[in-house]
Chain A
C-alpha cells in the first residue's frame, strides 16, 4: 500500500495541516507587519515628543521647534471635510434606504458611488486644483482642501450610513407610520436617531482617512511653511501628512530633521489610529449591547 495514495486519510489530513499552517502564517505576517510598523514609529518617534513639540511652531527654517501649526491645519481640514461629507452622505443614504425604489436610477447612483470610492487620491487632488482652486477661484485654501477631502470621504460615509439605516428594524417604521406620522417625520424622528450611533462610528473611519490623506491637499490647501496661523478659510495651512512628506523628501536638511519627522509621523498615526480605534471599540460595544 502506498501511504501517499490520494485517498489515504493520513495524506488528506497532512494536506489540511499544511494548508492551515499557511493560512495561519498569512494572518501572522499581516499582524507582524502592522505591529512592526507601529513599533518602529513609536520607538523612533517617542523621543521627539514633548509638550513644546505639540504646542510650538517650527523654528530655524524647520530644523527645530514644534509642529503646532500642522496639527491645527489638519484639525481645520478634517473638521471642514466632516462638515461637507457628513450631511451630504447621510442625506444620500436616507434617499437610498428610505425613499428609493430599486431600479435603474438607484443602480446608476450606486455605480456612481462605487466609482467615486475608487477615484485615486491624487486625481481628487487634480480635481480640487482644477475645480475649486482655479475655476471657483478659492485659491489654495482651507476651503478648497476641505471640499476636496469632503468629497473623498463621501462614499465611505454613504456606505456606513446605509448600513446603519438598514439595521433599524422595519417594525419601528411601521409602528410610526401606523400612528399616522408622516414618512418624513418617521425618518427624521424615529429612524435617524436610532441609526445615528451606527452612522457616526462608521463615518469615523472615513474621518481618519481625511486626516491622513496627503495627495488631495498637496495642490489644494497645504503649505510648506506659513509664518502665521490661518485667519480665514481662504488661507493656506500646514498639515501633518504634508509636513512629513516635505521634511522627508525636500527639507533643507533631511537627515538632521529625522527626529522631527519621526515625531510628526507618531503624532499623525496616534491621531488617525486613535480615531479609528475609538470607532472600533464603540462599534463592538454597541453590537454586544444591541437592544433589538
Chain B
C-alpha cells in the first residue's frame, strides 16, 4: 500500500468517527419514534398535544399532555426571566468591569455552578427552599412553579453567562476606543456600543439557556410538585414534560399505551429543544460578528 492510499484511508476513518455525533442524533430520533409513534394509533396527534387530561393509568386512559407542555413552558419562561438579567450582567461584569483577580474567581464560580449535578440542585430546592417558601408565604406546598423556576435559573445562568461573555470579548477594541474618544462614559459605551455589537451572541446564549431549562429533568421532577393541571398562580404545582417521563417510566408496563405516550412526550421535548438549538445556531451564524466590518 502506498503512503498516499494509506493517508486517504486514515482520513476517511477519521471522517467516520466525526459522523458519530450525527449518527447518534439519528439513532435518538429512530428510538423515540420506534417506541413512541404507536401511541398515535390510540389517540390523535391533536388530542395528544391539546388534550387537557393526563390520566395514563385510568381505564380508559387519557393521554392529553397540554398541562405538561404548559408546565414546561411556564417554568422555562420564568427561569429565563430570572436568569437572563443575572447571567448577562455577570458576563458584563466579568468582561468589562471586574479586576483580573475577581474575574478569575467569578469564572471559576460559574464553572462550578455549571458542574453542580442537577439532582443536587433538585435536592436543595426540595429540602431547603421548599420548606422556607412554605413557611414564609404560608402555602400548602413549597414545591411549586416559583421554586422550580429559581433552581432552573441557577442551572441556566452558567450557559447564558459564559456564552454572553465570549460575545462581549469578541467586540473589537476600536469600538470601545472610538466611543471613549467621543466622550462617552463607560456605562454609555457598554449599553450603547458593546451590548448592541454583541447582541447576536447574547441572543444565542439566551436560546441555549432556555433549551437547557426546558430539558432539565431532575429539578422539575423533585421541585415542581407534580400536579398535571393548568396552574392558576405561580405558587401552584406543575408537572413539566421531563418530570412526567422520569417519574412514570418506571411504572409504565412495557409497550403499553402509557409507555408509548411517555416516549411520545420525549419526541415533543426533543423537537422543542432541537428548535431552540437550531434557532441559536442560525442566529449565531447569520449575524456573526466579523471584525469591525459588519457594522
Contacts and interface: CB of A to CB of B under 8 A. Distances in A.
Interface of A: 12-13, 15-16, 19-20, 22-27, 29-31, 33-34, 37, 40-41, 88, 91-92, 94-96, 98-100, 108-109, 111-127, 129-131, 134-135, 151, 154-155, 158, 182-184, 205, 208-209, 211-215, 218-219, 241-242, 244-245, 248-249, 258, 261, 265, 268-269, 272-273, 276-277, 280, 284
9 contacts: A22-B89, A118-B215, A120-B270, A123-B215, A131-B28, A158-B21, A182-B6, A208-B115, A215-B118
A23 to B, nearest CB: 5
B77 interface: no
Interface stretch (B59-67, B172-180, B276-284): B276-284
A284 B242 contact: no
Contact of A215 (B14, B186, B218): B218
A130 B34 contact: yes
Contacts of B139: none
Nearest to A242: B119
A259 B191 CA distance: 48
Interface residues on B, range: 35 or more
B170 interface: no
B17 A92 contact: yes
Main DSSP-derived SS at the A contact region: helix
A184 B7 contact: yes
A269 B24 CA distance: 29
Given A114-B277, A127-B27, 5 more contacts: A20-B97, A26-B85, A115-B281, A122-B242, A127-B32
Interface string B199-214: 0000000001001101
A88 B17 contact: yes
Contacts of B30: 131
A123 B111 contact: no
B115 A272 contact: yes
B135 interface: no
A151 B24 CA distance: 8
A154 B118 contact: no
Contacts of B127: 248, 258, 261
B74 interface: no
B210 to A, nearest CB: 10
Given A30-B109, A115-B274, A122-B266, A261 B123 contact: yes
